[in-house]
Amino acid sequence: MDQKCNNIPAQKGGIKDYISIARFDHITKHVFVLPGLLLAYILRGGEHFRPLFLLLGFIVVVSIASANYTINEFLDREFDKFHPVKSKRSAVQRELNGNIVFAEWFVLVVIGLFAAFCVSKVMLFVAIIFALQGVVYNVPPLRTKDKAYLDVISESINNPLRLCVGWEIVDSTTLPALSVICAYWAGGAFLMASKRYSEYREIVASHGKDLLVKYRASFEGYSERSLNISCFSYALFSVIFLSVFFVSYRPAFILPMLLTVFLFSYYLYLSFGTQSIAQNPEKTFKDPVIVVLSTAIFALFLVSYFWDISFVRIFTTQTYIHWS
């Protein structure tokens, strides 16, 4: 799977290879910024919004995420060669200069932090955490990606950070409620655990667990059953925190939550397949069912916001069914 494994010297990387490790093609993951933007506009109003902030917020998430991908791919090159698909990555197939990779990471981080600074101090704080997460997750001796469960919990913090960036674009004076931040975090953990689950099932079946552990040390502490249960748990936590946030703000928001359960269920279903979208989250919105469910959830959210759907209050008030 890797040229080095066959004692063939790897070719030196070119400009294309250094660009590819930044994974700008993963830009679709930043769709998680949009709910933060929408929530802030609905709950806080748009008086603090500036069109320039939209561009700057986009630069923040793309630059910092690409910086994290850069060190991720370079530091994982000796592990990715054991993965059936990731062994084809540039960092595995080409000899990359560590100094150039570090410079690329540094430039991307500086661009992201400067863009955040131009928006607000809160945005800068969020961007700093975003950049530090990439270091904690990828760089030894911390390297949380090698620890079972901690790998999922630490990487999924990127989700609420994207939410906060979206929020800051509209209102640079506050942050979202803790309940929605926790919901986003648990939702991100569900996505990452589903990815691990899908990888575990596929690679163990085709190459055995020994190869899987060589690729990612955290799999030593996982089993198919534990990963399945963790997916279920993260989904439940996400739905609980979302329910707390939505129902405390407007009871009618319980309606889009019903479709959210179907969305979680369908995504878990996808993780059972080979080379599933669960293993490639950047391709999530290429699945028509996910697109339809996401659109329906968004539409129902708007309906619930603009129209008072009074019958749902029977689920959120202390009423009793009397039988006489």
Identify the pLDDT of residue 319. Answer: 61
- Residue among 176, 216, 210 at smallest CA distance from 196: 216
String of b and e for 160-191 (b: at least 16 CB within 10 Å)? bbbbbbbbbbbbbeebbbebbbbbbbbbbbbb
CATH number of the domain located at residue range(s) 1-175 in this protein: 1.10.357.140
- The residues spanned by each domain of the chain are 1-175, 177-324
- For 59-87, how does the pLDDT look when each residue is reduced to its tens digit (9 = 90+)? 999 999 999 999 999 999 988 888 888 88
Q: How far is CA 62 from CA 29, 89, 165, 304, in A?
A: 10, 20, 11, 32
Would you give the distance in Å from CA 49 to the centre of its chain? 25
Side chain identity at 147, as an amino acid letter?
K
Asked whether 253 and 177 are in contact (CB, 8 A), the reply is: no
Identify the pLDDT of residue 8. Answer: 44
Identify the pLDDT of residue 6. Answer: 43
Identify the pLDDT of residue 289. Answer: 92
Would you give the distance in Å from CA 196 to the centre of its chain? 13
Identify the pLDDT of residue 186. Answer: 96
Asked whether 85 and 96 are in contact (CB, 8 A), the reply is: no
CA dihedral 223, 226, 232, 235 (to 10 degrees): -80
Average pLDDT per consecutive 10 residues, the chain (324 residues; last block may be shorter): 46 88 87 90 81 94 96 91 85 90 97 96 95 95 94 94 94 90 95 93 90 92 95 95 84 83 92 83 84 90 79 66 64
- For 258-293, how does the pLDDT look when each residue is reduced to its tens digit (9 = 90+)? 889 999 999 999 998 877 888 887 778 788 999 999
Average pLDDT, the chain: 88
Report angle CA 44, 34, 43 to the nearest 5 degrees: 15
Token pair belonging to 117? 């600074």
Instruction: Give me the percent of the chain exceeding a pLDDT of 90.
Output: 56
Identify the pLDDT of residue 9. Answer: 47
Identify the pLDDT of residue 56. Answer: 95
